[in-house]
Chain A
Amino acid sequence: DAGITQSPRHKVTETGTPVTLRCHQTENHRYMYWYRQDPGHGLRLIHYSYGVKDTDKGEVSDGYSVSRSKTEDFLLTLESATSSQTSVYFCAISENRASGANVLTFGAGSRLTVL
């Protein structure tokens, strides 16, 4: 199994505070993703990265920023957390198969509660 570690696994914070979630991989995969999962919405892509310092927005990127300074780390930052960002956040990695498709492997998730 791919080695993906998310931290912290659980966090409770207050509205207006900054929050950073970390995703660390040991697989040297090129592609990394941040998703959020909410009841009734399934998984939604926040941001993704296709290489060091190469990132792009997903469908729900407002209020989030990301950074990838090393292949193994992908950080998700909420500059000023809001209650609407209470969610479970999943990091995923993928290898680029020869066919060009990206098969995703997920981390264990980080549960964030914004009070």
Chain B
Amino acid sequence: GIQVEQSPPDLILQEGANSTLRCNFSDSVNNLQWFHQNPWGQLINLFYIPSGTKQNGRLSATTVATERYSLLYISSSQTTDSGVYFCAVHPGGSNYQLIWGAGTKLIIKP
């Protein structure tokens, strides 16, 4: 089946720094979503981004489907950005099954 790999697994930054999180997938996908799980466990959908680039405030994401990767950019990090960032993909031919990466754990120090 399709494999989803996220890097780096852990990232520790000072407040104000920028970061880039990567998601690689091994086969064609119908779509890709980025999620943030905050330290209290809540999962928030950040982007639905099967291709192209989207921006939402300090966060932006780019998916290059032909090269099978997606990037999540966080600029001017704040302590509230801490948590785990997941990417999840729908394999080609499926609109229900989401394959999840293992996540990137981000810690922003004040």
Contacts and interface: CB of A to CB of B under 8 A. Distances in A.
A48 B50 contact: no
B110 interface: no
B14 interface: no
Contact of B100 (A31, A43, A99, A105): A43
Chain B residues touching A, range: 20 to 34
Interface of A: 31, 42-45, 48, 50, 56, 58, 88, 90, 96-97, 99-106, 108-109
Contact of A109 (B33, B42, B48, B96): B42
B102 interface: yes
30 contacts: A31-B96, A42-B86, A42-B100, A43-B86, A43-B88, A43-B100, A45-B97, A48-B96, A50-B96, A56-B96, A88-B41, A97-B48, A99-B31, A99-B50, A100-B95, A101-B48, A101-B50, A101-B95, A102-B95, A103-B33, A103-B48, A104-B33, A104-B35, A104-B88, A104-B98, A106-B42, A106-B45, A108-B41, A109-B42, A109-B43
